Structure 1
Amino acid sequence: MPQTKSYIKNSKIILRNRSRNKKYKSAFKKAIKNYLLSVKRLSVDNNQELLNDCNNRLSLVYKSIDKAVKVKILHKNTASRKKSRLTKIMK
């Protein structure tokens, strides 16, 4: 298959977009992981400080998921489902 100029330009754009998408995706995955770890610590030792930490981390998760929706990495319904399930975990 011959490599035309448009193909070369398109491949550069694809690589650029992939790295941009990966940044947002990894951000909300890390936020979710940190939140789940804090919930696990809360289940072991239930005190007010850990509860506040969980709420702060949940807020960060919401923020990162909403950013991913804004740049169309996640569909809004998928984001809503993820946020709902994460909130249920804490209760």
Structure 2
Amino acid sequence: MSSNLKHYDVILSPVITEKATAVSEANQVIFKVASGANKSDIKAAVESLFKVKVKAVNTLVRKGKRKVFRGIRAQQSDVKKAIVTLEEGHSIDVTTGL
């Protein structure tokens, strides 16, 4: 049971943008992941939670930006994303949730 909780802690949320929708044509899905997660953690979490076979995992860290909102300056936090490539025949529908 604790391993399931760990998988839910690794995958934070799916990324639903125009670019994420475009790469879904190439059998890829983009997730926001925990900053301490490595590629093998992400692969294990996606395979167990969604019952699919993962071909590859690419990660990136988008550095936080300075933003001004209503005259208040703030620093956005860093965001780690994972681009997960699935094996042929497998798919994840991120709009339905988990």
TM-score, length-scaled by structure 2: 0.25
* Greater gyration radius: 1
More helix by share: 1
Structure having the higher strand fraction is 2
